Amino acid sequence: MSKLRTIIHTARLSPNQLALIAPLGEVAPRPGYHLLSHQDPVDTKDLRRRLRCDVNTLPPAFDPGKVRLLITDLDSTLIGIETIDEIAAELGLKPEVARITRQAMEGALDFTQALEERVKLLEGLPAERLETVFEHKMRPAIQPGAAATLAWLKGRGITVAVVSGGFTFFTERLQKILPIDHARACTLQIKDGILTGRLEGTVVDKRAKLEYLMELARRLGISPSQSIAMGDGANDVPLLQGAGLGVAYHGHEIARRHADARIDHGDWRALRHLLLEA
């Protein structure tokens, strides 16, 4: 039987904590984390509780050295806000829209229906206010460690893509300030400089996210098993399941339940641990 690899996402383990995990296998310190190599499965839930940090066992078939694609959700994953909620704040409607957003991310509402309902509430907003949201809400909300980690991935020859039920207005601007190779999102309809409350084109729902992963894999000439997907909500579940490694990033329970790994405590730098950064 080949050894399993479990990432303990902390560089600091007390003598008592080391004594706790030592019987489980071989423990090796790495930059920023510890790598536990072992034969038998470990209870990661119990270890998370007892060590008070993220703990993830890599799927046996996942090979970090062969990863060639990272595909990530935008809202509450790459950035720490829900963009549509902040657009609604420009109209004084944030609480109402945020409630619908939360229910959709938890899987309680159909994503497409919930998105169209929220976009309808944005009717009449001057499009120039979107620029305000980008500069004052989105840019400052880029997740800690994200920019440096994306650059690190690019340095390893890994393609970076964003797939979002959010909006192209914002993904296009993020591509100018972050090393993002590809992006797919929804398009807000704008006429005479005003949001109409409608979308143009296809909604990027959970099915579309998975299809984008498969499309990119074909274009890159790789297997989906050579990809990592990150997301936080119900709309990301098929994407997480379709990748070689699905990572729930500070996710809702439905995303954590279906992911291979979960980052609940750390930030984007924990992704490097999952790739076994030496």
DSSP for 57-73, written as a single string: EPPTT--GGG--EEEE-
73 is catalytic: yes
125 and 87, same structural domain? yes
Pairing of strands 227-231, 194-200: unpaired
Paired tokens of 175:
């591509």
**Domain housing 28:** 1-57
85 is catalytic: no
259 and 175, same structural domain? yes
User: In the prediction, which pLDDT does 167 show?
Assistant: 98
In whole angstroms, what is the distance from residue 215 CA to residue 106 CA?
26
Q: Per-residue pLDDT for the chain (278 aa), expressed as one digit of tens each?
A: 469 999 999 999 999 999 999 999 999 999 999 999 999 999 999 999 999 999 999 999 999 999 999 999 999 999 999 999 999 999 999 999 999 999 999 999 899 999 999 999 999 999 999 999 999 999 999 999 999 999 999 999 999 999 999 999 999 999 999 999 999 999 999 999 999 999 999 999 999 999 999 999 999 999 999 999 999 999 999 999 999 999 999 999 999 999 999 999 999 999 999 999 85
89 and 39, same structural domain? no
Marked catalytic residue, from 43, 46, 75, 181: 75
Give residue 235's Cα distance to chain centre. 11
In whole angstroms, what is the distance from residue 30 CA to residue 17 CA?
16
183 and 156, same structural domain? yes
User: In the prediction, which pLDDT does 224 show?
Assistant: 98
Nearest to 73 by CA among 191, 206, 203, 199: 206
Marked catalytic residue, from 54, 73, 236, 260: 73
CATH code, domain with 247: 3.40.50.1000
68 and 170, same structural domain? yes
202 and 156, same structural domain? yes
28 and 10, same structural domain? yes
User: In the prediction, which pLDDT does 277 show?
Assistant: 87
155 and 36, same structural domain? no
91 and 20, same structural domain? no
**H helices of 72-196, where?**
83-89, 94-105, 111-120, 128-133, 146-155, 168-177
